[in-house]
Amino acid sequence: MENQRVGVIGGGQLAWMMAQEAPDLNLDLVIQTPSPDDPAVALACDRVFAAIDDASATAELAKTCGVITFENEFVDLDALKILEDQGVCFRPSISTLQPLLDKYDQRCYLQKIGLPVPSFQSFNLSQPLPFEYPFVLKARRHGYDGQGTSVIKGADDLARLSPQILGNKWLIEEFIPFERELAIMAARSVTGEIVFYPVVETQQVNQVCHWVMVPASISSDLQRKIEDYTRLLLTELNAIGIFGIEFFLTASGDVLINEIAPRTHNSGHYTLDACNISQFALQLQAVTGQSLKQPLLQCQQAVMVNLLGYENAEGDYAEKRAKLAEIPQAFVHWYNKTESRIGRKLGHVTVLINHLDHQNQRQNLLSIIQKIEFIWYSTPEGDRENSKQL
């Protein structure tokens, strides 16, 4: 039987990891991506080179693909809606994506369905400030990896950002002095079946994810509460596919939703090596109408550390990657990007842990993370402190 063709809008590292999983599921991936240098180009079965928001290119993609899914959401939703009305199958559907792509709309939607979020408003410079400093300003669309999100600590910060605020739509929200950040990946099938991965703890530095620890050390009540919120959300959205949901855990033990990604997510990269099914395979199962495998962690714990660019350069960092691969139970993933830029995600490492020292669980995981970061960020000039600021 011929492989089924799945169209993917986006050709970055998420599509690259999805393309690695496609053959096992008898699927051929066809990607829409702007540049022949993008990570997924080499692995895809076919490609349409065009901007992500070029809906005529998506119409081209749809000619040979029974279903189209997403690796990023910088799309022109109105134009895709017209294609959907003409019979193109998007999973998740355009009506599922509608309330999610704009951060302000997303907050309004979550509030409407009764899920907890930080206090927020839409924002422009002519209105009085609704929150005391510090507060958080976010570009309503096209933010990623902290681009477009700023913690405003005082009037100087606001003045510095003002030129950007003028030309765009913004969201303002209260600063949450969270204890920890948590996230969950969950998938929903065509028949409404929902499966969850374990809740993870994530750490962002200057709004960029540096590491993920799994499972998060939280009570089973909290795991259940997060699953309940996620189930409600995916059901209300009539979602098909995989979703990443990020939370703030407050000092009083409450959780607030920070953000929903209607696709695979950095906080789920560990699933490639640590679970019986990866988030990428699960997305493909969901969008092609298959029933979903129940995800299971296949080790006691795992950590995932992002390899972020710490200089503007070209290079494959082979020596550092070889050192990282020597760590017991380490899996190094390198996205083959031709250029390193400061803060750019170039790869990640996952380390599986099976021998738990229950006394010092978190400390042990932190020491593995530190070891990885030391190998990756230490430079011949010893310029590690700058790299830590990424």
| 1, 81, 89, 94, 158 from 85: Cα distances, Å | 30, 6, 9, 10, 43
What is the DSSP annotation of 110-167?
Answer: HHHTT-----EEEE-TTSPPSSPSSEEEEESSS-BTTBTEEEE-SHHHHHHHHHHHHT
Cα–Cα distance, 28 to 30 (Å, whole number)? 7
**Do 176 and 118 contact (CB within 8 A), yes or no?**
yes
What is the DSSP annotation of 105-118?
Answer: HHHHHHHHTT----
Task: Please pick, from the candidates 66, 116, 143, 289, the single residue that binds ligand ADP as defined by CB under 6 A.
Answer: 143
Q: Is residue 176 part of the contact set for ligand ADP (CB under 6 A)?
A: yes
Q: In degrees to the nearest 10, what's the CA dihedral of 217, 221, 225, 226? A: 20
**Do 174 and 131 contact (CB within 8 A), yes or no?**
yes
Partners of 305 in the beta sheet?
Answer: 211, 349
- Provide the 3-class DSSP secondary structure of residue 305: strand
Size of the site for ligand ADP (CB under 6 A): 18
Min separation Cβ 12 and ligand ADP, Å: 15
Q: Is residue 122 part of the contact set for ligand ADP (CB under 6 A)?
A: no
Q: Is residue 96 part of the contact set for ligand ADP (CB under 6 A)?
A: no
Q: Using CB under 6 A, which of the segments 28-36, 162-170, 172-180, 210-218 binds ligand ADP?
A: 172-180
Q: Using CB under 6 A, which of the segments 8-16, 169-177, 273-281, 333-341 binds ligand ADP?
A: 169-177
The reply to whether omega before 92 is within 30° of 0 (cis) is yes
Q: Using CB under 6 A, which of the segments 32-40, 156-164, 173-181, 354-362 binds ligand ADP?
A: 173-181
Min separation Cβ 45 and ligand ADP, Å: 30
Q: Using CB under 6 A, which of the segments 138-146, 316-324, 337-345, 350-358 binds ligand ADP?
A: 138-146
Task: Please pick, from the candidates 32, 33, 258, 387, the single residue that binds ligand ADP as defined by CB under 6 A.
Answer: 258
- Which CB, 174 or 316, lies closer to ligand ADP? 174
Min separation Cβ 173 and ligand ADP, Å: 5
**Do 330 and 350 contact (CB within 8 A), yes or no?**
yes
Nearest residue to 45 (alpha-carbon basis) of 70, 65, 73, 74 = 65
Q: Is residue 373 part of the contact set for ligand ADP (CB under 6 A)?
A: no
Q: Using CB under 6 A, which of the segments 145-153, 215-223, 227-235, 282-290 binds ligand ADP?
A: 145-153
Q: Is residue 43 part of the contact set for ligand ADP (CB under 6 A)?
A: no
Binding site for ligand ADP (CB under 6 A): 118, 136, 138, 143-146, 148-149, 173, 175-176, 181, 204, 207, 246, 258-259
